[in-house]
Chain A
Amino acid sequence: MANTLFDKVWDAHVVRKVKEGPDVLFIDRHFIHEVTSPVAFLGLESRGNDVVYPEKTFATADHNTPTINQHLPVEDPLSANQLDALERNAKKYGISHWGLGDKNNGIVHVVGPENGITLPGATIVCGDSHTSTHGAFGAIAFGIGTSEVEMVLSTQCIMQPKPKSLRININGSLGVGVTPKDVALYIISKLTTSGATGYFVEYAGDVFTNMSMEGRMTVCNLSIEMGARGGMIAPDEKTYDYIKGRALAPKGKDWEKAMEYWSTLFSEADAEFDLELSFDAAEIEPMITYGTNPGMGIGVSKSIPNSDPSDSGATSYKKSLAYMNFDEGESMLGKEIDFVFLGSCTNGRIEDFRAFCNIIKGRKKAANVTAWLVPGSHKVVDQIKEEGLDKIIDSAGFVLREPGCSACLAMNDDKIPSGKLSVSTSNRNFEGRQGPGSRTLLASPLVAAASAVSGVVTDPRTLLN
């Protein structure tokens, strides 16, 4: 049987197949951050093991870090302790470490690609479920638990059964104001948060071919939210252009050799997938979520669906709406909001800031809105300044913060207060995700910007410059 892109990359990394068990999978690139790695290093030490390939692991601090005054000591002693542990462990084992203030520092899934660490055909893991982001380059990338972090440190392998394959095809052209984030939220709303569980996704079709690398990263990032282990897109000229010349990308002869291999990374025309789904690009609107999981999304102009009493999930659905303080049938447009968050590994890249600025340019932040604009990395900050977007942000009454995971997960100082409603470009709207009692509406940078200047949930198509 002809191979899929996923088969080609997976099979090239199988050290051995365990009888009636998982595959032993070799890992090319391993990212670590301060939250899910300390216990792995403890485990490593308690067993008397060493880090076997320190040059294949990359450490960056992101989850706990403050997004203002990063030059000052971190106030929260528990966060400071984890950040210290990351630095200490990296130093002890000879792992490269981009700590707070380092020019390469930023969110792990932003800095990996920026520095040429993320490559097509590689296996990439990190103790973070949004590792699926790196699949945008035609890599197999997925999140792992701390036990597996320890496995990679001490053996460079993990043990996983090979997932089933799912191809999602979207052809046609996206409408005005419809971004990669909307494409992903649309797919998740159709599949639900468990619809792709057990599968590894390949995204194919015009929409993804025409998408920028930043956009592809946003889509692959959200693969986990439909339950998939990861998602990937076959590398093409855009991929190579993005990687070429990056600090740690292959150079000279190595580049030529790599290109030769990368050009073989696509699903054969007659490759068979365990499941194949197709959607029409024209059906996709700017999206927004109304509930407490990313599958509870609708077009921003639509009303909250009515529950189906015959559905086994009806109780959970009502619980979710009760938490959000929303009613069935209500319109999302016009709901007064309190916070806007632009950033995260989902939407913290330069293109996201360009989109946000397109809407806020010449307008003012609404008085009732607190906005946190958090670039994904220092390189994104530099690019924002180079393009003069910082001036647009400033004139519109917004403030640019320093890089980090910020309000995506309420592990640092950026927490949405209880009961407050936030339009967020991040990836999860779970209960309390942005702070205990916080209420999250997931949306694109365009919807976030339109809502930030209006003070209420707003369709960006009415404000596009």
Chain B
Amino acid sequence: MAYDKFNVLTSTAYPLPIENVDTDQIIPARFLKATERVGFGDNFFRDWRYNQDGTPKTEFPLNKEIYAGSKILVGGKNFGSGSSREHAAWSVYDFGLRCVISSFFADIFRNNCLNVGVLPVQVSSGFADQLFDAILADPKTEIKVDLPNQTVTLVATGASESFEINTYKKDNMLNGFDDIDYLKNIEDEISAFAKTRPF
């Protein structure tokens, strides 16, 4: 599944300072029934964005006009726990986001994000708090995520922190490549290996 290359992203951000946000909140299971990858952005955080009668919950950050168009979401600790549904990562991307910042990510969600072109940026909890404080004080706060240099910066103050990503995944994100491109290139090596497996 091709995605747009990621290099340096400067954007305002949606703040979601809630811990243990699970994938059933990011995209509830009843919206996993498509057989194509379309429309997942509409149901991103469906039950936190909308009441059961379909009216929007205006106080929820993703519904606030003041943050509209942001490409970054800053989430609380242990973001994306729960299910392996890649639909959660698709819904992040399809909603228009390219980057999620948190002080801690659940494992499968992080991996799924990297596979679909969403950059998971893990920062210290102190820096995450700085980001939340800055956004809540000024919703127009811009955050710069620099993938080549692996830094995330509060543009207004210059406060910055570096983040980890392995070189292979970084190159993929910078070039819009994915793992299948890599694996298809080593097909012969894989089929030779397959012959050695007992079952």
Which residues does A use to contact B, with CB under 8 Å?
A: 15-16, 18-22, 24, 26, 28, 35-36, 38-39, 42-43, 47, 49, 52-53, 63-64, 76, 78-79, 81-82, 85, 119, 122, 127-129, 131, 143-148, 150-151, 154-161, 163, 192-194, 197-198, 224, 227, 229, 250, 254, 257-258, 261, 293, 295, 312-313, 315-316, 319, 409-411, 418, 428, 430-433, 436-437
Contact = CB atoms under 8 A, between A and B. Distances in A.
Contact of B125 (A122, A154, A312): A312
B86 A28 contact: no
Interface of B: 1, 17-20, 22, 24-25, 28-30, 32-37, 47, 52, 76-78, 81-87, 89, 104-108, 111-112, 115-116, 125, 166-169, 178-180, 182-184, 186-187, 189-191, 193-194, 197-199
B160 to A, nearest CB: 22
Contact of A293 (B81, B167, B182): B81
Q: Is the interface of A mostly helix, strand, loop or mixed?
A: loop
A48 B186 CA distance: 17
B149 to A, nearest CB: 16
Contact of B197 (A28, A151, A192): A28
Contacts of A20: 166-168
Given A15-B189, A42-B37, A431-B47, A410 B84 contact: no
A299 B138 CA distance: 44
Given A151-B179, A159-B183, A35 B106 contact: no
Nearest to A128: B84
Contact of B106 (A43, A146, A157, A227): A227
Top 6 A-B pairs ranked by shortest CB distance? Answer: A21-B168, A143-B84, A145-B86, A20-B167, A78-B33, A38-B35
A437 to B, nearest CB: 7
B35 A82 contact: yes
Contacts of A198: 107
B33 A411 contact: yes
Contacts of A159: 168, 179, 182-183
B34 to A, nearest CB: 8
Contacts of B86: 36, 39, 127, 145-147
Contacts of B34: 38-39, 78
A415 B109 CA distance: 25
A154 B184 contact: yes
B183 A433 contact: no
A143 B125 contact: no
B190 A145 contact: no
13 contacts: A26-B194, A43-B180, A144-B108, A145-B112, A148-B115, A193-B20, A193-B78, A197-B107, A312-B77, A316-B18, A430-B82, A436-B47, A437-B52
Given A28-B197, A155-B184, A433 B32 contact: no
Nearest to A415: B30
B183 A129 contact: no
Contacts of A128: 83-84
Nearest to B17: A315
A79 B33 contact: yes
Contacts of A418: 52
B24 A36 contact: no
B92 to A, nearest CB: 12
B28 A147 contact: no
Nearest to A46: B1
A295 B1 CA distance: 34
Contacts of B125: 312
A145 B180 contact: no
Contacts of B105: 197
Contacts of A224: 82, 108
Contact of A432 (B24, B77, B190): B24
A127 B183 contact: no
Contacts of B193: 15, 26
Given A129-B84, A147-B179, A227-B81, A197 B104 contact: yes
A319 B180 contact: no
A64 B33 contact: yes
A82 B34 CA distance: 7
Contacts of B197: 26, 28
Contacts of A145: 84-86, 89, 108, 111-112, 115-116
B86 to A, nearest CB: 4
A67 B83 CA distance: 22
